[in-house]
A and B are shown apart, each in its own frame.
Chain A
Amino acid sequence: GQNIDQPTEMTATEGAIVQINCTYQTSGFNGLFWYQQHAGEAPTFLSYNVLDGLEEKGRFSSFLSRSKGYSYLLLKELQMKDSASYLCAVSDSNYQLIWGAGTKLIIKP
């Protein structure tokens, strides 16, 4: 079967760093996405990894290890506006996205 696991909820402090992990088992792999979703809004694209390694984009970085079926999203210098759900999704052999349930990130002052 296909499975994507990520923590349900995480709490971090403003200005700190947080790492959100995602592990996956899918039929085929054509890349891994991270989306951000604020409450009541649609998901928005954050990052895409298809090769092993770290992709950095400003305060956000995403890492992929295909051999381990593992990714993480790293958020630095946390701001209150980063409070949101972060969704991990894998593109399978048919280029269909398989979604994790999302990680709700709570930022405290």
Chain B
Amino acid sequence: SQTIHQWPATLVQPVGSPLSLECTVEGTSNPNLYWYRQAAGRGLQLLFYSVGIGQISSEVPQNLSASRPQDRQFILSSKKLLLSDSGFYLCAWSNRGQDTGELFFGEGSRLTVL
């Protein structure tokens, strides 16, 4: 069966510090991968998605970046965090090709920038 895992689950970082969130998927090949952010009490905001190694699409301008060094690994990074980067970050995957588009989510990473 397929599983998705992201870490760390919680982190508190000072403004201006770097960020690295990692996500891995097991049990499937060539997945579409996604990073979402959810501000408190708000909906899901798509940050990045990837259809393959090294292929990243950015949905919103920001000081975050994403990389996909391996087929089932997706990393969210920042060189210098802003207060507005605080939120709940979710990694997700879906099947490639003409499937339903159903997303399967990781456990989430709560980031607090102070």
- Report if A and B associate in a common complex: yes
Find out whether the CB atom of B108 lies under 8 angstroms from the CB atom of A95.
Answer: no
Determine whether the beta carbon of B108 is less than 8 Å from that of A41: yes
- Chain B: residues with Cβ within 8 Å of the partner, total of 21
A63 at the interface (CB under 8 A from B): no
Is B105 touching A48 in the complex (CB atoms < 8 A)?
Answer: no
Q: Is B44 an interface residue (CB 8 A)?
A: yes
Q: Does B106 contact A (CB under 8 A)?
A: yes
Contact check: which of A48, A96, A102 meets B43 at CB < 8 Å? Answer: A102
A58 to B73, CA, bound (A): 36
Taking a contact as CB atoms under 8 Å apart, the answer to whether A101 and B42 are in contact is yes
Q: Secondary structure of the A side of the interface?
A: loop
- Whether a CB of chain A sits under 8 angstroms from the CB of B107 is yes
Instruction: Say how far A4's CB is from chain B's closest CB, in angstroms.
Output: 9
Interface residues of A in 81-109 (CB under 8 A from B): 87, 89, 91-92, 95-97, 99-102, 104
Interface residues of B (CB under 8 A from A): 41-44, 46, 49, 88, 90, 94, 98-108, 110
Instruction: Give the B-binding residues of A (Cβ under 8 A).
Output: 30-31, 33, 40-45, 48, 50, 87, 89, 91-92, 95-97, 99-102, 104
